[in-house]
Amino acid sequence: MTNVSESIRGPTTNLAADLQQGVEQLSLDQTITFEPYVRLILPLDGYAFWVKMSSLGDSAMFNMMGFNSLTPNETGSATSPGAFQAKGSLHYITDAQQLEETSSSRNRVVFTAEEPVENLNAINPQIMYIGTWDGPMPGDQPPTDSTAIRFAFSSRSSYYQQAGLWHYNGNALFNTMETQVVDDPAKLLNYPLIVSNSLPSWLALSYYNPPWHVPVPMPNIKFYPSFLVPDNLVPPYIAVHIDPGSTEAWQTMPTLNPMSSQYQLARDRVTLTLYGCNNDVAQSVLYAILQYSYDTEVFGILNIPAVRDEKETQVELHTLAQKKRISFDVSYNQSDIRNMARQLIESCIPTVQVGDAIISSP
């Protein structure tokens, strides 16, 4: 966020004027283009994608942003933030990494701007600006074998008011994250389930009410996948974490049905982290999950879960967050719907034999 002194345009000191002139000479009046991307969550498993906003119609942006919400029968049109160019100097550092599962070059980007980039401050958590830089100097054509660097900023640092410069820091898009940034939303049509564990069944708890004879509904608390909780979300909410190392197969060979859909008995260790919940709410969540397992048989519970209090502090407040955890060991069926037989029917050329005559379709 910018304050009053930061929002003043132009250099305010001789030092700032000299430094800005030096930035312009070093960068040759460089400008960076930033494109807005909208956050899209798959309803099946909570996986997050970022889709280029220019590829979506304005009507698709209804109620996606707090400043672009329309109520029923309200007149007016939806508008979405567009791309913009920021003037400054781009620096990047490249580190080569060789890991067990991937080898890549990681680019750390620093963008020095002559003015605060207010678009980056004003946007909400559902929108993100991604910058693109392909390397050529102004007026030059990029080499045919060049690869554009796409990056986003995670922090702003080293602000010194007398210098009149703003430094934005971030990482270029990792090669392993290329699948999560989508320029063509058509690629996400009919996108299948991504995760292979029991996460989808836990996210469905956000919409479950136990069929009890007494009017005691499931607490109205949203479940989110771990590491994909929306930015700065205010409690109450529940984060679902499934330890990757805990997923085990309890069946050597999966069961295949006539359509080649496979089902394999598996086990997960699932930890629910509850924020903003008192003891009554946490116990109600636990009882509702036990009832959910009994009613739906989506997963079976192998342990005896209990609500645990956690300690999370903030030294400025000298108090504790309302944080609790519940851990479950569950068994369930991993499934993979392949429909191989249907695909074979669609791809083969049928041949019909009547007596001695053979008729083939074109």
For residue 82, the model assigns a pLDDT of 76
For residue 324, the model assigns a pLDDT of 97
The answer to whether the bond into 236 is cis (omega within 30° of 0) is yes
- Measured between alpha carbons, how far is 85 from 35 in angstroms, rounded to an integer? 9
For residue 282, the model assigns a pLDDT of 95
Give the residue ranges of the chain where pLDDT is below 50. 1-9, 11, 61-78, 137-138, 340-352, 359-362
- Measured between alpha carbons, how far is 216 from 210 in angstroms, rounded to an integer? 8
For residue 41, the model assigns a pLDDT of 81
Give pTM, 2 decimals.
0.71
For residue 237, the model assigns a pLDDT of 94
Distances from the Cα of 15 to the Cα of 22, 89, 156, 165, 181, angstroms: 11, 18, 21, 10, 40
Contact predicate 33/131, CB 8 Å? yes
Contact predicate 324/277, CB 8 Å? yes
For residue 68, the model assigns a pLDDT of 39
For residue 55, the model assigns a pLDDT of 80
For residue 286, the model assigns a pLDDT of 95
pLDDT tens per residue, range 208-238? 888 877 777 788 899 999 998 888 889 999 9
